[in-house]
């Protein structure tokens, strides 16, 4: 959930919001701002909602926090909570290639976070397909930001 800025904008447009964050403190702030939201402590590898709970799952600038060895299971968990025919929208810092990641590191200099391992678009695409999601579409929204939209088959 983070700061809930994106969730608040979606709620303004009629979305019913359920959110997950590993920080109980962050959720307390969010709950104070948005008492109508359903909020639970959890993370990408332990989403505390039943399978098939959501028509749409949105993640904004959080997936890079998942350690690379845990990303395959995180993608399976994202697919689990989507309904058949549901959509995943994931926006994050990602790169098209190791070379573009290296260029970004050089360009950002001291602002680059060496503790983060940012995804490569192709690697995440492979993980999403391996988790049972398909029909992925990719857009580079800024120099270091990519949006992926993936669908869970079925529900047609």
pLDDT tens for each residue of 122-139: 999 999 999 999 988 999
Q: Which residues pair with 21 in a beta bridge?
A: 41
What counts of helices (H) and strands (E) characterise the chain? 5, 7
The pTM of the full predicted model, rounded to 2 decimals, is: 0.91
Instruction: Quote the CA–CA distance of 156 and 152 in Å, as a whole number.
Output: 11
Among 23-37, 76-90, 105-119, name the most confident range.
76-90
pLDDT tens, residue by residue, 5-21: 888 999 999 999 999 99
Instruction: Quote the CA–CA distance of 71 and 92 in Å, as a whole number.
Output: 14
User: What is the 8-class DSSP label of residue 46?
Assistant: B
pLDDT at 115 over 80: yes
pLDDT at 114: 87
The structure tokens listed for 97 are 């290639």
């Amino acid at each position: 959930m983070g700061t809930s800025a994106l969730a608040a904008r979606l709620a303004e447009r009629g979305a019913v919001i359920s959110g997950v964050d590993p920080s109980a403190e962050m959720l307390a702030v969010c709950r104070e701002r948005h008492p109508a939201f359903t909020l639970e402590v959890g993370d990408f590898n332990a989403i505390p909602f039943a399978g098939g709970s959501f028509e749409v799952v949105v993640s904004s600038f959080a997936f890079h926090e998942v350690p690379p060895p845990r990303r395959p299971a995180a993608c399976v968990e994202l697919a689990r909570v989507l309904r058949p025919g549901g959509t995943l929208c994931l926006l994050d810092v990602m790169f098209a290639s190791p070379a573009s990641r290296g260029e970004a590191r050089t360009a950002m200099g001291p602002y680059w976070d060496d503790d983060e391992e940012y995804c490569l678009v192709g690697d995440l695409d492979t993980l999403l397909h391996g988790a049972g999601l398909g029909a992925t579409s990719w857009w580079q929204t800024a120099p270091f930001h990519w949006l992926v939209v993936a669908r869970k088959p079925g529900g047609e």
